[in-house]
Every structure is written in structure tokens, then in C-alpha cells.
């Protein structure tokens, strides 16, 4: 079902049904979007639930200035970034120092099924600042268009391209070092 049809259903009074359709359509994509940022299943579960609760509360005031898909991603992204900030503050660490905590999480994650190269890639991505990590994940793994990423993160396409370029080079450099060792 198209997003516009779901929204039409919501406006016709079938709010619960429309919301169920949104969850079914986007739960997996949003789950992985959050999980790639916070690197932990339990944290991802909490953040995903909070995201959908916020979606339910705000759906009535959604004006379609942006597309439903980018609006959902924006809510999930904000939830994840706020969570990371809170976590780093709680641990009395800067966000860049907190990335080391995330690297360790990946190494000890029992749900990681990849090979050595994939592990090295994930550790290299974990080293990136949160916003560069976001851009890299959305472009490299999800192959999103720059225009969509721009709508989600509210950053110009030019700035996004530069950010992705930086992130790409950093990951490649880090990956090289890890593979050489």
C-alpha cells in the first residue's frame, strides 16, 4: 500500500488500522536504521517503540510538508541521536570517545554473524562521528538518494556529498589499517 493511501485511511477515521500498516511497512527498515547507530538490540528495541509511539501521537498533525517515509526516518534519527548524546553524557564521555564503547559492543555482540572484513568495516564505521555515520549508513548500505537524505537530516545535498566523501575516506583508511594488522 502506498503512503498516500495509508494517510487517506488515517483521515477517514481508520486511525488504528492506518497506524498498523505504517508499523508493518517500516518496522524493519527503521529497526536497522537505529541499530546501525546504537549497535545494541535492546536499545534499538526501546528506541523503535518510542519512535512509533511518537509517530502515533503526531500523525494527526502531520501536514505532508515532507513525505511520510522521510518523516518517519527523521523521528527515528532524532530518537537515536538524542539517545547517544544522553549515553555519552551519562558516561562522562564525548561523542567521539563514546564511539570506542560502540566498537567494543560490536566485538562482543552475539548477534554478529559476519566475517573478519565485515567486523573491521563495522568497527571503522563506529569510529565516525554520529552524523557522518548516519550519512555513510544511509548512502552506502541503504543506497538512499542524496535528496531523501537531505530531507531526513535537513542538510543541503552539497553538504551531504562532502560529508559522505569524508566518511568514505575515513572508513576506507581505517579499514586498510585493520586489515593490514
Partner 1 sequence: MEDKFNNILDNPELKKNPFSIPDGDGYFVKMEDDVRSKIIVPERHHTLLTYLKPALGLICSFGLIYGVAYGVLSMTGSLSDETPESIEIIENGYLSSSFIDHFNEDMEMSRMEGFNHDTDSIAEEDIVSFLTSELTPAELSLIYADVLK
Among 56, 62, 69, 146, binds partner 1 (CB under 8 A): 56
The upper half-sphere exposure of residue 91, i.e. CA atoms within 13 Å in the direction of its Cβ, equals: 15
Q: Which three cell numbers stand for residue 54?
A: 511518537
Q: With contacts defined by CB under 8 A, how many residues of the chain interact with partner 1?
A: 38
Phi-psi bin for 67: left (phi > 0), alpha (psi -120 to 50), beta? beta
Place of cell 544522553: 86
Contact pick of 6, 37, 38, 52 for partner 1 (by CB under 8 A): 52
**In this structure, what C-alpha cell is assigned to residue 58?**
503526531
By CB under 8 A, is residue 168 in contact with partner 1? yes
d(CA 35, CA 119): 15
CB atoms within 10 A of CB 122: 19
Q: Does 165 bind partner 1 (CB under 8 A)?
A: no
| Distance separating alpha carbons of residues 99 and 120, to the nearest angstrom | 14
| Residue range at the interface with partner 1 (CB under 8 A); choices 51-59, 67-75, 95-103, 144-152 | 51-59
Of positions 4, 16, 94, 156, contacts partner 1 by CB under 8 A: 16
Q: How far apart are CA 81 and CA 43, in angstroms?
A: 12
Q: Which is nearer to partner 1, 85 or 165 (CB)?
A: 165
Contact pick of 9, 101, 155, 175 for partner 1 (by CB under 8 A) = 175
Identify which range of 77-85, 86-94, 151-159, 169-177 contacts partner 1 by CB under 8 A: 169-177
Question: What residue ranges bind partner 1 (CB under 8 A)?
Answer: 16, 19-20, 23-24, 27-28, 31-32, 35, 41, 45, 48-49, 52-53, 56-57, 109-115, 117-119, 121-122, 140-141, 168, 171-172, 175-176, 179
Amino acid at each position: 500500500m502506498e503512503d498516500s493511501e495509508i494517510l487517506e485511511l488515517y483521515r477517514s477515521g481508520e486511525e488504528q488500522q492506518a497506524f498498523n500498516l505504517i508499523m508493518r511497512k517500516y518496522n524493519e527498515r527503521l529497526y536497522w536504521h537505529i541499530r546501525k547507530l546504537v549497535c545494541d538490540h535492546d536499545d534499538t528495541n526501546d528506541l523503535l517503540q518510542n519512535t512509533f509511539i511518537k509517530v502515533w501521537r503526531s500523525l494527526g498533525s502531520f501536514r505532508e510538508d515532507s513525505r511520510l517515509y522521510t518523516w518517519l526516518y527523521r523521528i527515528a534519527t532524532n530518537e537515536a541521536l538524542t539517545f547517544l548524546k544522553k549515553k555519552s553524557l551519562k558516561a562522562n564521555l564525548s561523542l567521539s570517545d563514546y564511539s570506542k564503547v560502540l566498537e567494543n559492543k560490536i566485538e562482543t555482540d552475539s548477534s554478529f554473524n559476519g566475517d573478519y572484513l565485515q567486523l573491521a568495516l563495522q568497527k571503522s564505521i563506529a569510529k565516525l562521528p554520529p552524523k557522518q555515520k548516519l550519512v555513510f549508513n544511509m548512502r552506502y548500505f541503504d543506497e538512499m538518494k542524496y535528496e531523501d537524505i537531505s530531507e531526513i537530516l535537513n542538510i543541503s545535498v552539497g553538504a551531504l556529498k562532502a560529508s559522505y566523501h569524508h566518511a568514505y575516506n575515513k572508513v576506507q583508511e581505517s579499514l586498510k589499517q585493520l586489515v593490514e594488522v
